[in-house]
Chain A
């Protein structure tokens, strides 16, 4: 079944890392300008690359401080993709470098598929 779907989904993978949900958590502390910027940046990136297949949960650590320990959050803002896998690193800062964010969130595959595929274009390849 997997094989089937994967072969069928090749086109969509090109469009952005498969049809799996890109589940992101953004840890902030209050709506500081820095945190707001980070949120806007990640939302823009997601809209651009994985539109309709992403979810951004903004977690205010001030409201649930215990999470800082359990999730090992030191810097703010921190962006994590869940479920966590060894390849995924924490991204900290205002997420100003789109390429870095794409690389880290594993959305980069889309690009590579673009390169390998026939269409060299941003966005869905329909």
Chain B
């Protein structure tokens, strides 16, 4: 079936209610738009579960955010108390009433003040409600808690038929209503109000598991609408309820091609010289003391230096402890925190339930709008929930981060097993499939020392180095160094250094040899050249002598010739 434009497909035989945004954070995501428009919805829950807040937020946000005036009927709380309670949530009810956007009404029904004789109906309530709706032109009505009627009136048969009529009446009036009810022992509400509300039933729950209180919300029914059926954790904070619409997310986020540096030059080169993809999730696992936190902090520090906002959740240390420790490896977070680029959020894992942690984290993300988040370490969440819960929580967190193109770095403490090969634990296996990149830090024992070895197990969509590197932390920060391979295997730490020293010595020795030979050659050449010069000198001398001798001979010859001629002339020879 094709869908035309943006319109929702309407299949034959089914119908989709028009929806009104509830104004409650997250709820509209689960319900695909909010509460059924012009219809009553039932919200049930035990005492202190947040029903009244739910109802009031629906009304108050309806006014302030969607311009829909509302009527709030309280059977239990007094108007002044309501005003006082909600001013701390940032709702100025007094002001809304003054602006004629809101009617607050407290209806007291005390059995001790009523004498019943004969049949009656609740038309007075309808008229009362009707007049208030007309007064402000209300589009929204909240009734908190309807059960109070049952304690006020004794004739249950009448009450039941009147409640049925009330829900129909609300529908007729076309107001979107939230009716709250007390949870029953075996039923959704104590008096079975859910029978009358066919369209939308939501339950709120506040339970304590392992001494940790969690609030949960569940949509029990929502006729004609697809909705998440899970229990969704929700938070009550100073700005009202926020439901976590996390499992409603899907794998539709846009993947970024943008790459961001890890803050460690050598790691960037291992990842194809560019670093990680923006919006990816990175798992750093390792045993105790392998430098996971430092690695995550380096990443965060580098991002903040680039001017990106980073949110750092710490489950192990306090903020000051972490900043102090990072200072020792050359990272100063203080100015970045001051500039508002880095925000730490340190909390004990056991302080809340998993859902609460997640809610808090999402809330902080919403508020701070970071580009990078770090969680150190996720393994500390395991005592709070089981594997599946932690995994699903992380999935929600990662999904959420990805949908906002937030890069996440998560550290995980693995059990200490100092072996040469890294032992992958089942829990890590679960978590790792959520991650785009997985870095491993391993402690290796040998030569009476422990050394840290770093490697990349996976990096989705990136060409990456398969080599191990030695992971070194110093006051200059983190460095990744090549490993030395010798005849006895890979060398780390001091063995690597010894090897390096030996190689350096060898190199020097070789250089000296070359120089020596060069010098020898030079001197030989000198000797040779000296000899040549000597020979030349000798030759020159000999030549000189020879030439002198030759000259003497020539003279002598000439002289003898002259003498002969003179003799001949004297003899008067004819020739």
Q: Chain A interface (Cβ within 8 Å of chain B)?
A: 27, 29, 34, 37-38, 41, 61-62, 65-66, 68-69, 72-78, 89-97, 100-101, 103-104
Contacts and interface: CB of A to CB of B under 8 A. Distances in A.
Given A68-B131, A73-B128, A94-B117, 13 more contacts: A27-B124, A29-B123, A38-B118, A68-B127, A69-B105, A72-B107, A74-B152, A76-B121, A78-B120, A89-B112, A90-B113, A92-B115, A97-B117
A103 B105 CA distance: 31
B488 interface: no
Interface of B: 105, 107-109, 112-125, 127-128, 130-132, 134, 152-153
A75 B121 contact: yes
A69 B128 contact: yes
Contacts of A34: 119-121
A2 B368 CA distance: 76
Contacts of A78: 120, 124
Nearest to B125: A74
Given A66-B131, A68-B131, A90 B121 contact: no
A45 B377 CA distance: 80
Contacts of A76: 120-124
B118 A97 contact: yes
Given A61-B123, A74-B109, A76-B122, A91 B128 contact: no
Contacts of A94: 117-120
Contacts of A69: 105, 128, 131-132
A73 B105 CA distance: 12
B114 A90 contact: yes
A62 B127 contact: yes
17 contacts: A29-B123, A37-B118, A61-B124, A68-B125, A74-B109, A74-B122, A74-B152, A75-B122, A75-B123, A75-B125, A76-B123, A89-B114, A90-B114, A91-B114, A91-B116, A95-B118, A97-B118
B130 A92 contact: no
A93 B117 contact: yes
B130 A65 contact: yes
B120 A77 contact: yes
Please list the 8 inter-chain residue pairs (A to B) with the smallest Cβ-Cβ separation, ordered nearest first: A94-B118, A65-B131, A93-B118, A68-B128, A96-B118, A73-B124, A76-B123, A97-B117
Contacts of B107: 72, 74
Contacts of B153: 75
B116 A92 contact: yes
Contacts of A62: 127
A89 B113 contact: yes
Contact of A91 (B105, B117, B121, B125): B117
B118 A74 contact: no
A29 B124 contact: yes
A101 B134 CA distance: 35
Contacts of A101: 117
Contacts of A100: 115, 117
B114 A61 contact: no
A94 B122 CA distance: 13
Contact of B124 (A41, A74, A89, A103): A74
Contacts of B122: 74-76
Contacts of B112: 89
A73 B119 CA distance: 15
B157 to A, nearest CB: 13
A75 B118 contact: no
Nearest to A103: B115
A68 B116 CA distance: 18
A90 B130 CA distance: 22
B117 A75 contact: no
Nearest to B112: A89
Contacts of B109: 74
Nearest to A28: B123
Contacts of A61: 123-124, 127
Nearest to B103: A69
A72 B116 contact: no
Contacts of B130: 65
Pick the most buried of B108, B119, B120, B121: most chain A CB atoms within 10 A of its CB.
B120
Pick the most buried of B105, B117, B131, B132: most chain A CB atoms within 10 A of its CB.
B117
Nearest to B126: A29
A95 B120 CA distance: 9
B127 A65 contact: yes
Given A69-B105, A72-B107, A92 B123 contact: no
Contacts of A93: 116-120
B113 to A, nearest CB: 5
Contacts of B118: 37-38, 41, 93-97
Nearest to B111: A89
B131 A92 contact: no
A91 B124 contact: no
A39 to B, nearest CB: 12
Pick the most buried of A69, A72, A75, A100: most chain B CB atoms within 10 A of its CB.
A75
A87 to B, nearest CB: 11
Nearest to B135: A66
A59 B127 CA distance: 13
Pick the most buried of A89, A92, A96, A103: most chain B CB atoms within 10 A of its CB.
A92
A29 B127 contact: yes
B179 to A, nearest CB: 16
A14 B116 CA distance: 26
Contacts of B124: 27, 29, 61, 68, 73-76, 78
Contacts of B131: 65-66, 68-69
A96 B118 CA distance: 5
Contacts of A72: 107-108
A97 B118 CA distance: 7
Contacts of B125: 68, 74-75
